[in-house]
Structure 1
Amino acid sequence: MAAPTPQLQRLLGLTGADAVLDVRATVEDAAWRRVIVYPPLEPGGCQVGIDDRILGTAYSLHDVTVLLQNVGLTGWDEPDVADSALIEWHEGGPEVWKL
């Protein structure tokens, strides 16, 4: 199995997923704590969280990237965030910011 990328290693360290003892199908599946972009809010924007901890409200993909960088996920840019299997987009995706 290939070693995880530096960005994935950082996310696993931030979320505590490096302590998971389960064998998973892929390295990305091992991230048992989730980065979630919640459904758009009435006034616009989406809350972003790690598990049950809300990091803030994002109004664009750039905002999600900044929120994750603020908690230590440095080195990720907008395409990394948009394409990552570690980020759950609830009721939308990287382009959906309004109801």
Structure 2
Amino acid sequence: MASDHPIVIYPPAGDGGRRVRAGPHFLGMAYTLLDVVEFLRLAGMEDVDDDWMRQSPLVEWRGGGPDTWTAAHG
């Protein structure tokens, strides 16, 4: 399913890393919220910070919000 959000943070993998995508581009595997912020800064979004990431409607958090960095086990 395509997302209406240009930035998607995928559910945590087994090691806690979360894939980060901006538009069609894979930016990297983040292990903290600050990793996501840095990926976006390197991609040209210089004004991004952790508060922006938590509040922006441009961000879709899948499998947990910005404080979820471990995989759910069920």
TM > 0.5 between the two? yes
Contact 1:40 1:96 in 2 (8 A): yes
TM-score by length of 2: 0.83
Unaligned runs of 5+ in 1: 1-31
Deviates more, 1:34-43 or 1:50-59: 50-59
Higher helix share: 1
Q: Show structure 1 runs of 4+ deviating over 6 A.
A: none
TM-score by length of 1: 0.64
Q: Which protein has the larger Cα radius of gyration, Structure 1 or Structure 2? A: 1
Supply the AA of the counterpart residue of 1:57: M
Unaligned runs of 5+ in 2: none
Deviations, residues 50-96 of structure 1 (Å, cap 9, x unaligned): 23421001111111100000000001211011111100000110000
RCO higher in structure (CA 8 A, sep ≥6)? 2
User: RMSD of aligned C-alpha atoms?
Assistant: 1.3
User: Which residue of structure 2 aligns with residue 92 of structure 1?
Assistant: 64
How many residues were matched structurally? 68
